[in-house]
Amino acid sequence: MTLELVWTIAKKVIDIILVWFVFYFILKNIRNNVKMSLLFKGIVILLLIKILSDTLGLVTIGLIFEYLIMWGPLALVIVFQPEIRGALEQIGRTQLLGRHKTLTIGEREELVFEVIQAVEYLKKSRIGALIVIERDVSLRDYIERSKKIYARISSELLISIFFPNNPLHDGGVIIQGDKISSAGAVFPTSIDMRIGKRLGTRHRAALGISEESDAISLIVSEETGRVSIAINGELNYNLTLEETKEILIEELQPKTEDFEEVETIDEGDKE
């Protein structure tokens, strides 16, 4: 095997890897953005109809789709300009290696415990709150525009941030790993028409950031004390504390959970 042949094979392998990485990165970010996900599904459906019309020889629908394919990309860029811009911004915020820190089982339990303790007090006292927990998609841009704290999470600190007359109580808190990174964060509000008029700015902001990222947004209503969680553009409304705890535990489980548990068992056996 000559050196030239080796280099040719290497270039093809690198080419395939790069193409695979680009497709993986795009699909991953489409999945994390609800609006782009719906747009992608619509394009797939239109392509399937086009293939069906070509197969069955449907002249009229085929002609319409030829014009759609010709002018469709330009129309998509114009009509969906905000969504495309948001997707590109999201790609820029995404961390290539995932979340800042993969929490251990103990750290994850402590995080959930402290958040639930704070939420219980806020719920009983009818104090409004918005707590956003970062996962794989970075929220660095929002942290930069808010008041940085970088303190270990505690229920007392969360309660004090949202306590009335605190200058930061109107914004949202961002949690990275087991740290409160910032407070007073302002998030984009959702324009989803399905949202009821009874839901206020906090709920719309929670939905907005969940549409643009994979973050977990937890809301306590100031008017009713009801607890809700927004994930992937979907709002779980009026949850009990137990339901809230179960959702947090499930959603915060890392992808490497199995390896962590095996590692813990192995360490226990060694002892």
Q: What confidence tens digit (pLDDT) does each residue in 191-239 have?
A: 776 676 677 889 999 999 998 888 999 999 999 999 999 998 889 999 9
User: How high is the pLDDT of residue 32?
Assistant: 57
- The pLDDT tens digits for 87-118 are 565 555 544 444 445 778 888 999 999 999 99
Bridge partners of residue 133, in order along the sequence? 175, 216
Q: Are strands 216-220 and 234-239 parallel, antiparallel or unpaired?
A: unpaired
Domains and their CATH numbers in the chain: 3-93 (no CATH), 105-257 (3.40.1700.10)
User: How high is the pLDDT of residue 270?
Assistant: 41
User: How high is the pLDDT of residue 151?
Assistant: 93
- The pLDDT tens digits for 146-158 are 999 999 999 999 9
270 vs 158 pLDDT, higher one: 158
Helix, strand, coil percentages (3-state) for the chain, rounded to 5, are: 60, 15, 25
Average pLDDT over residues 236-243: 94
Computed from CA positions of residues 26, 27, 32, 37, in that sequence, does the dihedral angle turn out positive or negative?
A: positive
User: How high is the pLDDT of residue 238?
Assistant: 92
CB 221 within 8 A of CB 205: no
Using alpha carbons only, give the angle 22, 28, 176 rounded to the nearest 5 degrees: 120
User: How high is the pLDDT of residue 18?
Assistant: 87
Residue 85, Cβ neighbours under 10 Å: how many?
Answer: 10
CB 10 within 8 A of CB 16: no
Q: Phi first, then psi: what are they for 231, rounded to 5°?
A: -140, 130
**Per mean pLDDT, which range of 27-41, 143-157, 183-197 is the poorest?**
27-41
Q: Which residues contact 61 (CB under 8 A, 6 or more apart)?
A: 49, 53
Residue 67, Cβ neighbours under 10 Å: how many?
Answer: 9
- The pLDDT tens digits for 124-179 are 999 999 999 999 888 888 998 899 999 999 999 999 999 988 888 888 999 998 89
Nearest to 132 by CA among 196, 176, 189: 176
Q: Are strands 216-220 and 227-231 parallel, antiparallel or unpaired?
A: antiparallel
